[in-house]
Structure 1
Amino acid sequence: MHTILVPVDGSDHASKAISIACDLAEKYDGRIVLLHILADGKGAADLLGLSVAKTFPPKLKEQLKLAASRTTQPAPEAVLRLIGEKILDQARAKVTRRGVEAEVAPISVGSPAENILIAQEKLSASMIVMGCRGVTDATQSSHGSVSNTVFAKATCTCLSVK
């Protein structure tokens, strides 16, 4: 059975990556491992812009709106964890609705690219399917800096989704 690692961050590209990973898992008898790395350093306004934000519980939305109106400082880790759990719950539900085996890796903290590469090695994942852009929506190239780094250093097949 193939293991497909799918990093998720709540972006539209990550959502598309889940769908494609499910297609591949169905066709090639694979399982999906979902990974979320805390959006460390992201402000509340950035997090409210995630496609998944519309499904946040009202209390969390209010916390983020209040934090966004008061400061441009990064959102507190506790709030980031709540958001990460919500993103993972939604991703797992999407995968299981397709009838694909889904596992959720523990939430990581730190460099997204480094955490993805560590997870790939630890899981012996045969493929990484990830969005080409995440919550930062960098414009430096057709791929974000995280996906560029992962694709340059990964020891497995990588698929970029836009």
Structure 2
Amino acid sequence: MHKILIPVDGSVHSMKALRIASDLAIKYRGRLYILHVLLRGKDARDLMALDISRQFDKPLQQLLNKAISANLGPAPDKLLHKIGQIILDHFAEKAGSQGVEFETLPILGGKPADEVVAMQEKLQASTIVMGARGVTHSDGSTFGSVSQEIFRRANCTCISVK
């Protein structure tokens, strides 16, 4: 079976990547493996800017808005885990609605590129499909630094979606 790893971060690019990965899985009788790595270092403003933030319940939105007002800095891991689970649940729902076989993987907490490459090797995934840009839009380059690192190190086909 064709194994397709899809790292998701709640960005619009990762949602587009899911649609392409789902199409590939259907066409080539594959299975999606949906992975989320904690968005460490991101503050409340970054988290509220995610496309997925519309899925946050009212108390979570209020908490993040207060953190933005207070300029509290990076979000704590407990909050990032909660948001990570919302992201995974949302992407799993979308994958299921597209009729594709999938599995959600446990949330990981290391460096994103390291975690994605290690999971690709562990699963022996033949393809990684991911958004070209994630949560941070630091410059005008086509690819984010995480996707560049993954593409450089992964021993499989890598597809970037913008």
TM-score past 0.5 threshold: yes
CA distance in 1, matches of 2:143, 2:107: 24
Q: Which runs of 4 or more aligned residues in structure 1 lie more than 2 Å from their structure 2 counterparts after TM superposition?
A: none
Unaligned segments of structure 2, at least 5 residues:
none
State the shift of 1:72 in Å: 4.0
CA distance in 1, matches of 2:10, 2:132: 13
CA distance in 2, matches of 1:16, 1:88: 15
2:108 matched to which residue of 1?
108
CA distance in 2, matches of 1:139, 1:15: 21
8 Å CA contact 1:5–1:128 kept in 2: the answer is yes
Per-residue CA deviations over 1:70-123 (Å, capped at 9, x if unaligned) read 124111111111110000000001101111111011101121111000010011
1:133 matched to which residue of 2?
133
Report whether the alignment pairs 1:56 with 2:56.
yes
Please show how residues 76-155 of structure 1 align to structure 2 within 5 Å: 76-139=76-139, 141-155=141-155
Percent identity over the alignment? Answer: 50
Q: Which residue identity lines up with residue 83 of structure 2 in the other structure?
A: I
CA distance in 2, matches of 1:68, 1:80: 15
Name which of structure 1's ranges 65-74 and 115-124 shifts more when overlaid on structure 2: 65-74
Q: TM-score, normalised by structure 1?
A: 0.98
Calculate the aligned-residue CA RMSD, in Å.
Answer: 0.8
CA distance in 1, matches of 2:137, 2:151: 17
Q: TM-score, normalised by structure 2?
A: 0.98
Unaligned segments of structure 1, at least 5 residues:
none
CA distance in 1, matches of 2:33, 2:120: 10
CA distance in 1, matches of 2:147, 2:139: 13
State the shift of 1:138 in Å: 3.0
